[in-house]
Amino acid sequence: MNIPADYIPILIQVAVGFGFVLLCIAGTHFLGPKQKDSSFKKNENFECGIDVEGNARTPFSVKYFLTAILFVLFDVEIVFFYPYAVNLREFGIEGFLAVLTFISVFFIAFVYVWKRGALDWDK
């Protein structure tokens, strides 16, 4: 098997990664507690140190999911501005008009969401 010299560091890194995983698995097996405890407290669900109360199937408000989706939508919009900010001078007037169109579409969407009351928690 003839491996080019450029791939040797990658193979070493993969071998070290697998070795670390195997070492951790073996270490937890040999160094971990040996007793088998099937008590109720050990098998109970744990959520941030708070005791479980009630049914976990209570529905969330749709406002929560709508706010999360709107956050992702407008957050991704900001990510698309980065290449424009880096290459501002190379884009010229065509790039400026393209970004202005991009901003206007999202501004119209923001006004629509605002007018529909999606940002009001009291409704």
Nearest to residue 119, comparing CAs of 78, 79, 75, 71?
71
- Measured CA to CA, the distance from residue 26 to residue 42 in angstroms comes to 23
User: What does the pLDDT read at residue 36?
Assistant: 67
Question: Could you give the CA distance from residue 102 to residue 34 in angstroms, rounded to a whole number?
Answer: 61
pLDDT single digits (tens) 33-56:
776 666 666 666 666 666 667 776
Residue spans per domain, the chain: 62-115
State the chain's mean pLDDT as an integer.
82
Cβ neighbours for 84, distance < 8 A, ≥ 6 positions apart: 91, 95, 99
Which DSSP symbol is given to 50?
Answer: B
Q: What is the pLDDT of residues 71-81, one digit of tens each?
A: 888 888 888 88
Most confident of 3-7, 24-28, 52-56, 82-86: 24-28
Tell me if 86 sits within 8 A of 80, measured CB to CB.
no
Longest CA span, the chain: 72
Q: What is the pLDDT of residue 82?
A: 82
Q: What is the pTM of this model?
A: 0.45
Mean pLDDT along residues 71-97: 83
- For residue 47, the cross-strand partners are 50
